[in-house]
Amino acid sequence: MRLTIAAVGRLKDGPERELFLKYAKRIDDAGRAVAFGPLVLSEIVEARQAAAGQRKADEAERLLVAAGAADFIIVLDESGKVFSSTAFANFLAARRDEGRRTTAFLIGGPDGHGDAVRAKAQLTLSLGPMTLPHGLARIVLAEQLYRAATILAGHPYHRS
């Protein structure tokens, strides 16, 4: 199952981007054994309209375009479902096993997600109750995707 992270904003060159790319490569390497990957990052420019509703609508349209032909869409939002790492791995494995070809994770801009994204999402996922900077959310998500692959492969990275 291919994995896409579509996010509003761009990770600047430096430690955040390097750490994200480190986990993306790990997912590509470890994911082969469990049919996960590759991981593709699609970054869209933050909208500039005056009103928050217009910004969210514009970003929602572009996030959905970036998600492409994904047949399972997960929206990240602090109000979403919280998983343990093992439960998240099992959830993703179930999507893979039911024949999903691509799962897209959508990370909105500072104003949150527009209605179009929320309407298309099959799951709203929370990385926890605390608000995270969007760049850090990408890194945490990438690490959890890598962790999911290692859990499913029986690799000792995850010790619970």
Is 89 within a domain? yes
Tens of pLDDT, residue by residue over 30-61, are 999 999 999 999 999 999 999 999 999 999 99
Is 8 within a domain? yes
Q: Write b or e for each residue in 113-141: b if 16 or more Cβ atoms lie within 10 A of its Cβ, otherwise e.
A: bbebbbebbebbbebeeeebebbebbbbb
Domain enclosing residue 33, as ranges:
2-153
Residue 91 has pLDDT above 90, yes or no: yes
pLDDT value of position 157: 86
- Decide if 117 contacts 85 (C-beta within 8 A): no
pLDDT value of position 70: 97
- Hey, what are 1's tokens? 């199952």
Residues 20-25: contacts with CB within 8 Å, 24+ apart? 20/135, 20/138, 20/139, 20/142, 23/139, 23/142, 23/143, 23/145, 23/146, 24/142
pLDDT value of position 160: 62
Is 158 within a domain? no
Q: Write b or e for each residue in 30-67: b if 16 or more Cβ atoms lie within 10 A of its Cβ, otherwise e.
A: bbeebebbebbbbebebbeeeeeeebbbbbbebbbebb
Is 159 within a domain? no
Q: How far apart are alpha carbons 43 and 118 in whole angstroms?
A: 19
Is 79 within a domain? yes
Q: How far apart are alpha carbons 91 and 33 in whole angstroms?
A: 17
Is 160 within a domain? no
Q: Which CATH number belongs to the domain containing residue 11 in this structure?
A: 3.40.1280.10
Mean pLDDT of the chain, nearest integer: 95
Q: What is the total count of domains within the chain?
A: 1
